[in-house]
């Protein structure tokens, strides 16, 4: 009996095999795969060729593989922790094996044609699978400026004296489940971030799921249109191929094919793919794209993927994404890698197994101790990574101390006059999770015809708590020197449930508000319009108010928001008509009586308005973390229903109406190489309108300025005020970004990476029947210019250039 227990203990005992994988000349082989032969249990070497694998006592046959090298099988007998260095020989690809007898055809072309014929079959052949995934991400700065927006970069990012160092190092272990038609469920069971004991890794195994059997990849991630796969249905329009030879691998003939862009600047890859003859599958690849191919923000992305055969199908064994680039004076490099093991390609999922939750991070995932990681880490750390962990983890406790955080705050809180002029100044008390934000002067001084020269200044106090909770208090003052009006208010918000975006907001005081609830112009832009161009498109009124708002998700992607607003509203008139222009073209503050300076748009009155908004985003994916729920941008529409009710006779309120409106908005509709579109459809109606004033009307997202906000839901030429409605309406907006589809073919211009924009809008209401807009232009990152036309029925009423800045489609 005792012998049985001893035998069982010996067989269950695990030992660690470590070593380095190198080529015959001694150079390390990074990201080589090490697997127990004929299984999916294994690991990968790190960037220095070092590997580590936990094995049971006894004899085990291992398979060492790497792209471009001969496989090597080694039998090890584990009696204790063992070191085994491996040398891999470069794979020799011969050109004399006749694979396809077609003397007039390029051999590589014939192979690729066979692969393309099988593309759809292999894209959908695996109905489902489950596996375990280890991910690691590392980003480092190679060089950085001394200062950035007045801040000391080396201090803020914890760099060395050469302004170099790892700025992000993280590992994670996940259980990944997949089912066809993009159903994914991932549970992160362990998470580690260098220097942050309480943080959760941003690594996501599903982000590494790249399938080159798709026609395009990385769509709207690294570029608008994405990049054409070397085996896409239309690949021969983008690629040339070169046969580099064939070699035998585990009884199969594997061909090495070089993929070459037909022209520079095409959205394509360069590099090598390996094809298994007869079955015509991809077995491995080493491909890259550069900024010449249209990649944004980085200079080069390299993808290395190796697949493994499991029960007559091929699944990913390992994948690495390596990046490098330079942006705003920062030179950087890094990689993200994933190692897959313990596949089950015939899992049984119950009916409700998959939901819109694509990743759940377990609360205890970041509580694993160093001994756990030493035992379970699939890929050994490099010396640089180990030193980074040791240094940052050793001071992680110190970093959470008040003394350390106060010392860091002392540096961050240094006052910079230039900073407060153009950017907010933030005073931190990190230990107490407090901050005070002071508005920049540049956006606080303004001019308009109602108040003349004015000052609006706010300070925001923020107090954070555990689990993502926080509250903010924002006192604000505003004074107009021409009309001598002083206004002050306080607005506050408390986020009490980060996992469901549960929040309560409260505000009271007085303010000068835009007559349009859409607020399409800001103070700075209106100041420029008034002083430089002599125009006052924005109109204002004064309100003394008290409001309260509550919002919360009662189910994923379902958000309910209710609010009560009570206000005393007062119409205003112009008080100052000065401008830098000798003959300004100012109009009355009443948009319906442009020539009558003393005309009031509405009588002073009180209004109590109750409103509610129910929003739902169709099939929106999300991540559940212990500190909140985080939504991914959806590829499906967002539906929003809004209801407003004016209550007459309560607290002296004189308004009495009911309004209901519906909007359907989809930000991204992809069309492959032809770019992407956005679309909005909106309709609404006042069910009753017994008594209401102009602030209660339905206001549209209009524009009268040459410079406008880059919201694809805006009208580009519609008047801010006079075509809003008290009845019913229907509006539609569509915008398309071709993502350089045409301009990429024009010499010299293609280097600018300009994106082509077209769009149209439509509005129908009793005040503005059959109003249409059309425009076309170009965009580069967050700047754009376009030229447009506006028609009232069939009559051209406006045309001209428009400029915008900011992030949009």
Percent of the chain with pLDDT strictly greater than 90: 53
Rounded Cα gap, residues 258 and 547, in angstroms = 65
pLDDT value for 808: 59
How far apart CA 555 and CA 631 sit, in angstroms, is 13
Q: Mean of the per-residue pLDDT values for the chain?
A: 88
DSSP 504-561: EEEEEEEEEEESSTT--S-HHHHHHHHHHS------EEEEEEEEEEEEEEEETTEEEE
Report residue 12's pLDDT band, with 50, 70 and 90 as the boundaries. low
User: What CA–CA distance (Å, rounded) separates 619 from 737?
Assistant: 24
Q: Does domain 2-88 have CATH number 3.90.1280.10?
A: no
For 185, the token pair is 């469920």
Instruction: Assess contact for 380 and 46: CB atoms under 8 A.
Output: yes
8 A C-beta contact, residue 544 and residue 602:
no
Residue 388 CA to residue 336 CA, distance in Å, equals 17
- Is the pLDDT at 103 greater than 80? The verdict is no
The two tokens of residue 550 are 């509550």
Among the residue ranges 200-204, 236-240, 475-479, 606-610, the one predicted with the least confidence is 200-204
Task: Domain ranges for the chain, please list them.
Answer: 2-88, 107-397
Q: What is the pLDDT of residue 264?
A: 84
The residues, any chain, with a CB within 8 Å of residue 291's CB and separated by 6 or more, are 298, 299, 300, 325
Angstrom distances, CA of residue 4 to CA of 9, 10, 11, 45, 296: 9, 10, 11, 37, 63
Q: What is the DSSP string of 294-338?
A: T--SSSEEEEEEEEEEETTEEEEEEEEEEEEEEETTEEEEEEEEE
pLDDT of residue 104: 40
| Residue of 523 and 688 predicted with greater confidence | 688
Mean pLDDT of 3-27: 71
pLDDT at 290 over 90: yes
Say what the pLDDT of residue 809 is. Answer: 57
Q: Band the pLDDT of 98: cuts 50, 70, 90.
A: very low
CB contact at 8 A, 174 and 189: yes
The 10s digit of each residue's pLDDT in 671-720 is: 888 899 999 999 999 999 999 999 999 999 988 877 777 777 889 899 88
Kindly state the average pLDDT of the residues 23-48: 88
pLDDT, tens digit (0-9, with 9 covering 90-100), for 767-776: 888 899 999 9
Does pLDDT of 146 surpass 70? yes
pLDDT average, residue stretch 220-242: 91
Lowest mean pLDDT among 42-56, 390-404, 545-559, 587-601: 390-404
- 481 three-state secondary structure: coil
Most confident of 83-87, 367-371, 524-528: 83-87
Phi then psi for residue 203, to 5 deg, are -65, 140
Report which of 62, 67, 70 is spatially closest to residue 88, judged by C-alpha positions.
Answer: 70
For residue 289, list its beta bridge partners.
301
pLDDT at 396 over 80: no
pLDDT of residue 124: 87
pLDDT score at 11? 44
pLDDT score of 361 = 92
| The pairing of beta strand 183-193 with beta strand 357-361 | parallel
Task: Give the mean model confidence (pLDDT) for residues 50-77.
Answer: 91
pLDDT in tens, 43-61: 889 989 999 998 999 999 9
- pLDDT score of 397: 67
DSSP secondary structure letter of residue 91: P
Q: Answer yes or no: is pLDDT of 162 > 90.
A: no
392 CB burial (10 A radius; 0-12, 13-18, 19+): middle
**Dihedral angle at the C-alpha atoms of 522, 528, 533, 538, nearest 10 degrees?**
20
Instruction: Report which of residues 396 and 572 the model is more confident about.
Output: 572
């Amino acid at each position: 009996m005792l012998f049985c227990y001893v035998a069982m203990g010996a067989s269950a005992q695990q030992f660690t095999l470590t070593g380095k994988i190198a080529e015959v000349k001694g150079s390390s082989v990074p990201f080589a795969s090490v697997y127990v032969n004929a299984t999916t249990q294994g690991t990968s070497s790190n960037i220095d060729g070092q590997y580590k694998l936990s094995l049971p006592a006894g004899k085990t046959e291992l398979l060492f593989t790497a792209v471009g090298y001969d496989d090597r099988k080694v039998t090890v007998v584990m009696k204790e922790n063992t070191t085994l260095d491996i040398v891999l020989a470069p794979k020799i690809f011969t050109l004399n094996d006749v694979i396809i007898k077609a003397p007039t055809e390029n051999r590589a072309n014939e192979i690729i044609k066979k692969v393309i014929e099988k593309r759809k079959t292999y894209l959908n052949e695996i109905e489902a699978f489950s596996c375990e995934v280890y991910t690691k991400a590392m980003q480092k700065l190679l060089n950085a400026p001394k200062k950035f927006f007045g801040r000391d970069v080396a201090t803020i990012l914890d760099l060395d004296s050469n302004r170099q160092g790892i700025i992000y190092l993280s590992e994670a272990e996940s259980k990944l489940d997949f089912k066809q038609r993009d159903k994914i469920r991932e549970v992160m069971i362990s998470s580690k971030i260098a220097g942050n004991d309480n943080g959760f890794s941003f690594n996501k195994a599903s982000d590494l799921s790249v399938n080159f059997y798709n026609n395009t990849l990385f769509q709207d991630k690294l570029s608008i249109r994405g990049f054409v796969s070397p085996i896409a249905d239309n690949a021969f329009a983008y690629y040339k191929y070169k046969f580099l030879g064939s070699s035998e691998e585990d009884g199969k003939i594997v061909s090495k094919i070089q993929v070459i862009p037909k022209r520079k600047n095409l959205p394509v890859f360069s590099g090598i793919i390996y094809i298994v003859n007869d079955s015509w599958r991809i077995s491995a690849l080493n491909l890259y794209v550069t900024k010449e191919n249209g990649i944004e923000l980085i200079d080069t992305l390299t993808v290395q993927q190796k697949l493994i055969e499991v029960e007559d199908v091929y699944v990913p064994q390992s994948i690495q994404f390596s990046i490098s680039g330079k942006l705003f004076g920062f030179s950087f490099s890094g990689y993200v890698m994933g190692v897959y093991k313990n596949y089950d390609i015939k899992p049984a999922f119950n009916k409700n197994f998959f939901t819109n939750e694509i990743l759940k991070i377990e609360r205890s995932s970041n509580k694993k101790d160093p001994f756990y990681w030493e035992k379970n880490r699939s890929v050994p750390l490099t010396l640089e990574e180990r030193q980074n962990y040791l240094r940052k983890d050793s001071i992680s406790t110190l970093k959470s101390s008040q003394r350390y955080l106060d010392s860091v705050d002392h540096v961050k809180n240094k006052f910079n006059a230039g900073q407060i002029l153009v950017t907010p100044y933030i005073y931190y008390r990190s230990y107490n999770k407090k901050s005070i934000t002071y508005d920049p002067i540049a956006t606080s001084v303004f001019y308009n015809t109602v108040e003349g020269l004015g000052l609006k200044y706010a300070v925001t106090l923020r107090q954070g708590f555990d689990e993502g909770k926080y509250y903010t208090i924002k006192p604000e003052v505003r004074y107009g020197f021409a009309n001598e009006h002083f206004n002050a208010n306080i607005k506050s918000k408390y986020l009490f449930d980060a996992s469901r975006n549960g929040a309560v907001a409260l505000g009271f005081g007085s303010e000068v508000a835009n007559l349009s609830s859409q607020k399409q112009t800001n103070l700075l832009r209106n100041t420029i319009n008034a002083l430089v161009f002599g125009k006052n498109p924005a109109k204002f009124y004064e309100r003394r108010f008290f409001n309260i708002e509550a919002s919360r998700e009662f189910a994923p992607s379902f958000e309910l928001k209710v609010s009560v607003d009570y206000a005393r509203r007062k119409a205003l008139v112009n008080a100052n008509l000065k401008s830098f222009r000798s003959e300004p073209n100012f109009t009355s503050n009443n948009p319906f009586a442009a020539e009558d300076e003393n005309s009031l748009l509405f009588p002073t009155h009180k209004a109590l308005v109750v409103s509610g908004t129910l929003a739902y985003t169709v099939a929106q994916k999300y991540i559940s973390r212990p500190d909140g729920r985080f939504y991914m941008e959806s590829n499906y529409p967002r539906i929003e229903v809004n209801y407003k009710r004016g209550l007459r006779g309560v607290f002296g309120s004189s308004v009495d109406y009911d309004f209901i409106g519906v909007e359907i908005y989809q930000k991204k509709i992809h069309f492959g190489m032809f770019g992407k579109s956005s679309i909005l459809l909106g309709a609404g109606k006042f069910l009753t309108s017994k008594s209401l004033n102009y602030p209660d009307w339905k206001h549209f997202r209009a524009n009268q300025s040459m410079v406008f906000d880059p919201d694809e839901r805006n009208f580009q030429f519609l008047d801010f005020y006079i075509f809003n409605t008290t009845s019913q309406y229907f509006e539609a907006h569509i915008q398309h970004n071709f993502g350089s589809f045409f301009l990429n073919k024009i010499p010299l211009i293609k280097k600018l990476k300009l994106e082509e924009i077209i769009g149209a809008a439509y509005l129908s209401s009793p005040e503005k029947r059959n109003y249409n807009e059309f425009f076309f232009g170009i965009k580069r990152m967050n700047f754009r210019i376009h030229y447009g036309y506006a028609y009232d029925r069939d009559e051209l009423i406006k045309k001209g250039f428009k400029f915008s800045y900011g992030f949009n489609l």
